[in-house]
Chain A
Amino acid sequence: MEYFLELFFSGLTRGSIYALLALGYTMVYGIIALINFAHGEIYMIGAFTALIAASILALLGISGLSLLVLAGAIAVVYASSYGYTVEKIAYKPLRNAPRLSPLISAIGMSIFLQNYVLLAQTSDFVSFPQLIPDFEFMENYRSFMQPSDLVIISTTVVMMVLLTIFIKFTKIGKAMRATSQDKTMAMLSGVNVDRVISVTFITGSALAAVGGVLISSHVGQINFYIGFIAGLKAFTAAVLGGIGSIPGAVLGALILGCTESFAAGYISSDYEDVFAFGLLVLILIFRPSGLLGRKPSEKV
């Protein structure tokens, strides 16, 4: 039982990170039907920013939980501005181009950002400080859960709640929902679509940066390439849950994280990816639009 819980929580931890990233994919897809392949790199940039910010803040004598929050906040701001800029440079000029063009542009942006960080920083793995502090009260639960697991899972929950409030109850959230339903109609009824798209990119990037900071602190090391595989997995999670659907992305991410964890724990870690992608294939066969995705209705 304890082993089961242990695997379950590490699955949830991994799933939470996927979820924070998958939301970015799914939101951008929901609004402009583009798969933003540069999203994983935003996560990586978030992690690098936090590393630099944390080293400077630590020199100024800040430590403990406030270091995590401050470094995280700086990472969020910085990564969001990157997300905003990427959209302005690589996607906005291609808004009315054929659908393949922005996709290629996204892949190009992803490679560009990787190499940019490679040149600006280093190609080596660098160690990432343990920003998530150890909690004393966790002693009794240490056998199946670590403090960082708890922080990652609960931060993700908080982020989800904030995002839901943002989309359900704010004016810009309403505009986002309208745009995702019908871009032309929203534009005609006075929604500033460009602004909505920018906000979507900023929100997605902020969530990705949070994910990047948390997982890097959990694992303890980063390099310029971490965004690629994490991005791929998060994209898979978004498709699994139904791309375009926000609850779907979260559900898909948690299912993917737990599947990987259980497959590695009970069968063999050789088969971790086999099971993760096998699950994706199965779901796409029986529910082509993903778990919570809507079937695209024919436009007449």
Chain B
Amino acid sequence: MKKSVLAIIITALFALPVFGADTIRIGVAGPHSGDLASYGIPSANAVEIVVDDINAKGGINGRKIEIIKMDDVCKPEQATNVAQKLVSEKVVAVVGHICSGATRTALSTYRDAKIITISPSATKTDLTTSMAYPNFYRTIGSDQLQAELMADFAVNKLKLKTFAVIHDKGDYGKDVAEFARAYLEKHGGRVKLFEGITPGAVDYSAIIQRINREKVDVVIYGGYHPEGSKIVSGMRKKGMKTIFISDDGLKDDTFIKVAGRYAEGVYATGPTDTTKLKLAQEAIAKHKSRFGSDPGAFYLNAYSAIMALTNAISKAGSTDYDAVGKALKTQWVETPLGKISFDAKGDAKGIGFSVFVVKNGRYAQVK
């Protein structure tokens, strides 16, 4: 009696993977909880929407797509676990991860398992330029592009002379800060202060006083919004009118919500606003009707990533690693970000950055 029960259990266990065998498995990894969840959840939503649309039309070449969601909380150590889990789940591709640090630690696992990875948001420059990860693609511009835009905007548009460049010591923030400093020094800006802060510290008054003492025209900040908003509010409460320019880590509505009136006049770079495109408006409308809310940052990037990926799979006619990779690099696809394809390094062609400014509690693109 007992033996037969055991036999049934064992048979059932072996039978499990068979159910999913003819689906195409796609992993979605990013922070779905924790303080950066506002970056990860919209991306997972985007993938869900696109995949459900495709499945409703019968899938790709008759195969349905199955999504496997994994939460890495933007923590590198968690990302490794997530990557291994996704590899063991036999996914053919991954949309994610979100934060650059987490993406980098996960990438080698995917590379060794020959899994294509498309990030909607990991901007760290050397992820593509180092050529270490041939499996990596992204639907967002690199930090270098972004940092140079920030610096160029400050030097040439706003005609500012002296700079404080602050970062959060993280992979992403420091990368942006270093590229900005290099560009500024080449183009006649004077960097009087280049420093890192500790994320999560009780307060940032010391660095604020330092900025105040150096009497700089502008603060360039590389990092995310929790620290950014603390520094901006601290500066404004002290009566400092120093211009504040930051990256797309700050170009998030949460920043405006938390910093409130102190956010007014803050500049941030981010992916060029393509919300006037028809595909983008459709994508946003779908999010509204399905989740009842406006999509957050990187939603359109994730939407484009999954569109490019599914397009490549269907054009390649298989889920073979080399064939899909080739399709990603050769096929152009209409997405909410415009018409995109990928270059040899994995960076998206046809994607750009713009400068935004907070005006009346909203980010508006600077013309």
Instruction: Write the residues of chain A forming the contact surface with B, with a CB cutoff of 8 angstroms.
Output: 3, 6-7, 10-11, 13-14, 17-18, 118, 123-127, 142, 146, 215, 218-221, 223, 225-226, 228-230, 233, 260-261, 264-265, 268-270, 272-273
Contacts and interface: CB of A to CB of B under 8 A. Distances in A.
A220 B233 contact: yes
Given A220-B230, A223-B226, A270-B195, A127 B259 contact: yes
Contacts of B205: 10, 13-14, 261
A17 B237 CA distance: 19
B292 interface: no
B207 A264 contact: yes
B207 A125 contact: no
B35 A223 contact: yes
B67 interface: no
B5 interface: no
A269 B196 contact: yes
Contacts of A272: 197-198, 201, 206
Given A123-B35, A124-B37, A269 B207 contact: yes
A14 B202 contact: yes
Interface in B196-215: 196-198, 200-203, 205-207, 209-210, 213
A289 B194 CA distance: 38
Contacts of B38: 124
Main secondary structure of the interface of B (DSSP, over half): helix
A11 B206 CA distance: 8
Contacts of A233: 202
B33 A118 contact: yes
Contact of B206 (A17, A123, A221, A260): A260
B239 interface: yes
Contact of B203 (A3, A14, A126, A225): A14
A125 B226 contact: yes
A3 B209 contact: yes
B199 to A, nearest CB: 9
Nearest to B207: A269
Contacts of A273: 198
A270 B199 CA distance: 11
Contact of A270 (B169, B202, B234): B169
A3 B257 CA distance: 32
Contact of A6 (B33, B35, B209, B259): B209
Nearest to B234: A219
B20 interface: no
Contacts of B207: 264, 269
Contacts of A270: 169, 195-196
A265 B210 contact: yes
B258 A127 contact: yes
B254 interface: yes
B229 A124 contact: no
B226 to A, nearest CB: 5
A3 B226 contact: no
B339 interface: no
Contacts of B201: 229, 272
Nearest to A10: B205
B117 to A, nearest CB: 25
Shortest 7 CB-CB contacts between residues of A and residues of B: A264-B206, A10-B205, A127-B258, A229-B200, A270-B196, A269-B207, A220-B233
